[in-house]
Amino acid sequence: MKDGQKADILLREVRLALGEQRFHFDCSIGEGLITAITGRSGSGKSTLLNLVAGFEAPQQGRIVIGGQDVTELHPSERPVSLVFQDNNLFTHLDLFTNIALGISPSLRLAKEDRRNVSAALERVGLGGFETRKPGTLSGGERQRAAFARALVRRRPVLLLDEPFAALDPALRSTMADLLLELHRDDGTTILMVTHDLEEVRRLADEVLFVEEGRISFAGKRDDFLAQETSGAISEFLRRS
Ligand SMILES: Nc1ncnc2c1ncn2[C@@H]1O[C@H](COP(=O)(O)OP(=O)(O)OP(=O)(O)O)[C@@H](O)[C@H]1O
């Protein structure tokens, strides 16, 4: 992305070491776009996402979201919501409660909040599932519920870490459609870790390719897919 273009998420000279691994991220992530973070296993994709989410703290550099420096903010104070591969639903709580926790951790809910929970379930195709427990749902339904919980938070940035990795290919494709639909409706900035090239093709506007703790490509999806001559990226494209 060019200088001066409005960027929703900025990582400015962010440096971090975890064990032997060193990371250096300097990038801007466009507002209202779907950006895929991709690369080989162990390259640092989740670490990049975790820095934005606030689960990892940089040793140097700044992280700015929507013009606000969030580097020192706790994850819960950042303008982001998250969906992970294992969806993190509480198994002993019904779906209504699981999703309501996205609005209020103490479950102090106004009438409107209650309506919003049911509306979010409706939007992801789980209308009427309020009293079901996660254990009674299929994998795809659980992941839909995790999306509903992210939706009720109404944060401008949605962070996804391999959200469909545990699903079978048909379900992956359905969930990808759902994500595109939600994105079209809300225009949320989406940052998504995936090692699945098909997901990059279908979902991403922009791509960040991570290699040994650094971003070696940042740009448009089609430009990324055309990188047939560059070593690590072309190998990644061939293998995927
Ligand atoms: N807390 C930690 N302590 C030591 N090393 C770590 C820690 N967290 C991550 N690493 C290492 O940093 C590297 C990058 O990890 P990360 O999880 O970001 O990679 P990834 O690209 O998301 O991988 P995958 O696709 O396999 O999930 C890995 O080699 C990992 O072992």
pLDDT at 1: 40
| Same domain flag for 187 and 71 | yes
Identify the domain boundary among 139, 154, 169: 154
d(CA 22, CA 142): 35
Pair 197, 227 in one domain: yes
Give yes or no: residues 168 and 238 share one domain. yes
CB 194 less than 6 A from any atom of ligand 1 = no
Q: Give 25's strand partners.
A: 14
| pLDDT for 104 | 85
Pocket flag, ligand 1, residue 128 (CB < 6 Å): no
**Closest to 52 (Cα-Cα) out of 26, 78, 84, 22:** 78
Determine the pLDDT at residue 35.
97
- How confident is the model at residue 14, as a pLDDT? 98
Its ipTM equals 0.96
Shared domain for 74 and 8, answered yes or no, is yes
Q: Are residues 171 and 237 in the same domain?
A: yes
CATH of the domain at 164: 3.40.50.300
Domain span holding position 137:
89-154
Question: Which residue's entry shows tokens 């061939």?
Answer: 238
- Domain membership of residue 11 (yes or no) is yes
Residues 96 and 187 in one domain: no
Number of domains in the chain: 2
- How close is the Cα of 47 to the center of ligand 1, in Å? 7
171-189 per-position pLDDT tens digit: 888 888 888 988 888 889 9
98 lies in the same domain as 131: yes
Q: Which residue has the tokens 């090239």?
A: 197
45 Cβ closer than 6 Å to some ligand 1 atom:
yes
Cβ of 107 less than 6 Å from ligand 1: no
What is the whole-number distance in angstroms between the Cα of residue 91 and the centre of ligand 1?
27
Spans of the chain below 70 pLDDT: 1-7, 229-230
Same domain, 66 and 114: no
